[in-house]
């Protein structure tokens, strides 16, 4: 049939594993984080054993001829003919178990995938201590496919141990060898792959993936690029993953580390920063073509072009993973008032703010103080308005277009400041933001911007002499959070008034930050009961100041609930604006 973008190819499991070993199939290094849990691996082998299908694989012809230079080593490697588009987790599970090699799990811990098999019950389980002591189980089936394995000796010794422990009847003596032989023969289990032509575009491959995937998942372009990195620059991919692993755990040897209390990125997130810095692109689909060495005009592949592009990516990644750059950027988040990770509602805002920070530093030579304040304002604006929460790549492409014509540091600063002003207009502060605060969403960006503003303004906690900034300090650890969100009009009080809908009770404007022990003591008491009692702790001038910071109208606890919500939303918007304006940039460029 003419016009087909794919061909169907039949494999055996053993044949697939041989092709992975030989480099014909470019399955990323077994050290890539493996996201399946072990029960899914168990179920995979159970399905194969029972003769059930386990899905079609999707490969893509690479289109790159011959050998390639491995970046950082100067050595040559064979280029895989096929890249894995769909089926990577299945192939990794099969490879890890049948080859008996370690994988790296999603927490970056090294471990073996140990699957057990009971020949009498023909049942699979994840290996545990009880199974290891039970002679009816083969505690680790990996042994069945190891080089030098002697099947008949294994069956004889297995049955001998079992006979000594519990005895065997004739039917069991026949069933055990048959079950073990059937398990060993899974190396011949048939699998089907669809091999997409190298002439197919990235968009076509993505569309094919979506159409054949029963769960309707979309294809992650970052996975495409990480796969390419595994083939052409494996060292760079490992650097990304090791950096991300180290952000999660404090160093034990006092050596410099990317660990921090704000952001624990995934490799694909930092890859986006690489790509922006190297190619000024946010759409990864274009970058995949570039890194394959494909000429976007002619469609032809060039190994020289591919190596040049990977060199650019390598230079960019050195800046992205530079520890001084990383920690200098994290000061931007703290400067913006988002001093606790719980306040951050958009990790994409972090990713793209870091990208712009690096461009400001590398391309325009902005000094640290100017750059920090500018990027703090940008991050605050981006978080508050959910700038990168939907169609993030499109939005960032537009932002990159904004700065493409900048030729000086002054232009860079002015361009970003003009965009901030175009977004945060008077109408936004006075109309849009109060309306956006009329929600019960648990992760409302406006609410967390309000808390960030309280940090910026050095505000006290409601009914406390402690500062919000001090009690949100991420370095302090305790069983309970030092600060808790408190219903100003408690739930049971509102229910007695006939207000029972969660959307009405959990309005953003009905929450304030209080110390946890005050929250416990207040409980469900009416505000007209607890508020005057707490207010007697403070002189009138301090109380007035506290009311202003926490956007509370005078005598709020006597107000009609709906009137209170409307008035407090307006005041919260004013405080958010004041907090943002405290970041006002002082030009030093």
CA separation for the pair 350, 139 (Å, rounded):
45
**Residue 425 or residue 89, greater confidence:** 425
User: Any idea which of 97-106, 226-235, 377-386 has the lowest mean pLDDT?
Assistant: 226-235
Per-residue model confidence (pLDDT) at position 398: 96
Q: Is the dihedral of CA 43, 45, 51, 57 positive or negative?
A: positive
Averaged pLDDT for residues 355-380: 97
| Secondary structure (DSSP) of 457-506 | TTPBPTTSSSBHHHHT-TT---SS-SEEEEESS-HHHHHHTT---HHHHT
Instruction: Check if the beta carbon of residue 116 is closer than 8 Å to that of residue 137.
Output: yes
Among 247, 246, 251, 245, residue whose Cα is nearest residue 260:
247
**Residue 264 or residue 63, greater confidence:** 264
Does residue 67 have a pLDDT over 70? Answer: no
**Residue 123 or residue 302, greater confidence:** 123
Per-residue model confidence (pLDDT) at position 540: 92
Among 60, 26, 81, 62, residue whose Cα is nearest residue 301:
62
Among 49, 13, 189, 39, residue whose Cα is nearest residue 121:
49
Give the single-character DSSP code of 339.
Answer: -
Confidence of residue 317 (pLDDT cuts 50, 70, 90): very high
Helix, strand, coil in percent for the chain, rounding step 5: 55, 10, 35
**Residue 74 or residue 410, greater confidence:** 410
- Could you give the C-alpha distances from 166 to 75, 88, 121, 163, in angstroms and in order? 57, 42, 15, 6
Per-residue model confidence (pLDDT) at position 287: 74
Does residue 28 have a pLDDT over 70? Answer: no
**Mean pLDDT for all residues in the chain:** 87
Cross-strand partners of 185: none
Q: What is the pLDDT of residues 205-221, one digit of tens each?
A: 767 776 776 555 555 67
Does residue 249 have a pLDDT over 80? Answer: yes
| Share of residues in the chain with pLDDT > 90 (%) | 62
User: Most distant CA pair in the chain: distance in Å?
Assistant: 92
Per-residue model confidence (pLDDT) at position 200: 81
| Share of residues in the chain with pLDDT > 70 (%) | 89
Per-residue model confidence (pLDDT) at position 105: 75
Averaged pLDDT for residues 336-353: 95
Instruction: Check if the beta carbon of residue 14 is closer than 8 Å to that of residue 187.
Output: yes
Task: Return the H-helix or E-strand segment holding 221.
Answer: helix 221-232
C-alpha gyration radius of the chain? 30
Secondary structure of 187-217 as H, E, C letters: HHCEEEEEEECCCCCHHHHHHHHHHHCCCCC
User: Any idea which of 83-92, 222-231, 254-263, 305-314 has the lowest mean pLDDT?
Assistant: 222-231
Q: Which residues of 410-427 are buried (b: 16+ CB within 10 A; e: fewer)?
A: eebbebbeebbeeebeee
CA separation for the pair 404, 527 (Å, rounded):
54
Q: What is the pLDDT of residues 403-416, one digit of tens each?
A: 998 999 999 999 99
Confidence of residue 423 (pLDDT cuts 50, 70, 90): very high
**Residue 528 or residue 202, greater confidence:** 528
Confidence of residue 335 (pLDDT cuts 50, 70, 90): very high
**Residues contacting 124, CB < 8 A, separation 6+:** 42, 43, 45, 46, 49, 115, 116, 117, 118
Half-sphere exposure of residue 501: CA atoms within 13 angstroms, side-chain side: 5
Per-residue model confidence (pLDDT) at position 213: 65
Does residue 65 have a pLDDT over 90? Answer: no
- Strand ranges in 127-198 using DSSP code E only, listed in sequence order: 190-196
CA separation for the pair 117, 430 (Å, rounded):
66
**Residues contacting 425, CB < 8 A, separation 6+:** none
Does residue 74 have a pLDDT over 60? Answer: no
Confidence of residue 367 (pLDDT cuts 50, 70, 90): very high
Q: What is the pLDDT of residues 533-573, one digit of tens each?
A: 889 989 999 999 999 999 999 999 999 999 999 999 999 99
Averaged pLDDT for residues 375-380: 98
Helix orientation angle between 347-362 and 303-320, rounded to the nearest 10 degrees: 100
Among 307, 405, 331, residue whose Cα is nearest residue 64:
307
CA separation for the pair 445, 443 (Å, rounded):
6
Does residue 73 have a pLDDT over 60? Answer: no
Q: What is the pLDDT of residues 149-166, one digit of tens each?
A: 999 999 999 999 998 888
**Residue 193 or residue 513, greater confidence:** 193
CA separation for the pair 383, 574 (Å, rounded):
17
Q: What is the pTM of this model?
A: 0.76
In the chain, where are the structural domains located?
6-64+77-196, 222-423, 432-582
């Amino acid at each position: 049939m003419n016009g087909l973008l794919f061909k169907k190819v039949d494999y055996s499991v053993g044949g697939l594993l041989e092709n992975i070993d030989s480099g014909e199939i470019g399955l990323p290094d077994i050290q890539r984080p493996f996201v399946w849990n072990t029960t899914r691996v168990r179920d995979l082998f159970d399905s194969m054993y029972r003769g059930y299908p386990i899905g079609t694989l999707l490969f893509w012809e690479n289109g790159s001829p011959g050998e390639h230079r491995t970046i950082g080593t100067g050595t040559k490697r064979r280029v895989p003919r096929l890249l894995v588009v769909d089926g990577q987790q299945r192939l990794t599970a099969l490879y890890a178990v049948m080859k008996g090699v370690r994988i790296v799990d999603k927490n970056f811990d090294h471990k073996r995938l140990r699957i057990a098999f009971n020949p009498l019950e023909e049942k699979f389980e994840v290996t545990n201590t009880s199974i290891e002591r039970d002679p009816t189980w083969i505690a680790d089936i990996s042994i069945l496919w190891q080089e030098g394995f002697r099947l008949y000796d294994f069956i004889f010794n297995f049955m001998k141990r079992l006979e000594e422990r519990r005895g065997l009847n004739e039917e069991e003596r026949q069933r055990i060898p048959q079950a073990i032989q059937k398990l060993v023969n899974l190396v011949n289990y048939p699998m089907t792959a669809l091999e997409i032509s190298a002439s197919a575009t990235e968009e076509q491959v993505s569309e094919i993936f979506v159409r054949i995937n029963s769960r309707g998942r979309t294809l992650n372009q970052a996975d495409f690029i990480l796969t390419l990195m595994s083939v052409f620059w494996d060292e760079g991919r490992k650097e990304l993953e090791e950096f991300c692993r180290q952000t999660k755990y404090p160093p034990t040897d006092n050596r410099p580390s990317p660990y921090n209390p704000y952001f624990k990125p995934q490799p694909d997130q930092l890859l986006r920063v690489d790509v922006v810095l190297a190619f000024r692109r946010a759409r990864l689909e274009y970058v995949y073509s570039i890194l394959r060495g494909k000429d976007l005009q002619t469609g032809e592949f060039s190994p020289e072009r591919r190596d040049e592009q990977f060199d650019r990516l390598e230079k960019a990644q050195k800046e992205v993973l530079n520890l001084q750059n990383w920690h200098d950027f994290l000061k931007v988040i703290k400067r913006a008032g988002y001093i606790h990770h719980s306040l951050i509602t958009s990790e994409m805002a972090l990713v793209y703010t870091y990208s712009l920070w690096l461009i400001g530093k590398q391309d325009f030579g902005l000094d640290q103080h100017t750059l920090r304040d500018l990027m703090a304002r940008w991050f605050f604006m981006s978080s508050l308005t959910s700038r990168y929460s939907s169609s993030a790549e499109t939005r960032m492409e537009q932002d990159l277009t904004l700065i493409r014509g900048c030729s000086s540091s002054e232009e860079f600063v002015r361009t970003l400041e003009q965009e901030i002003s175009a977004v945060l207009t008077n109408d936004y502060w006075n109309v849009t933001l109060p309306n956006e605060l009329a929600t019960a969403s648990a992760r409302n960006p406006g609410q967390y911007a309000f808390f960030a503003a309280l940090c910026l303004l050095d505000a006290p906690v409601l009914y406390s002499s402690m500062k919000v900034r001090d009690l949100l300090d991420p370095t302090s650890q305790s069983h309970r959070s030092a600060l808790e969100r408190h219903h100003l009009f408690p739930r049971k009080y509102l229910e007695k008034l006939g207000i029972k809908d969660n959307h009405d009770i959990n309005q953003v404007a009905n929450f304030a930050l209080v110390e946890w022990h005050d929250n416990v003591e207040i409980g469900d008491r009416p505000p007209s009961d607890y508020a005057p009692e707490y207010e007697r702790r403070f002189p009138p001038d301090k109380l007035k100041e506290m009311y202003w910071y926490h956007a509370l109208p005078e005598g709020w606890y006597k107000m009609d609930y709906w009137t209170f919500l409307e008035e407090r939303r307006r005041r919260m918007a004013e405080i958010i604006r004041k907090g943002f304006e405290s970041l006002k940039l002082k030009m030093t460029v």
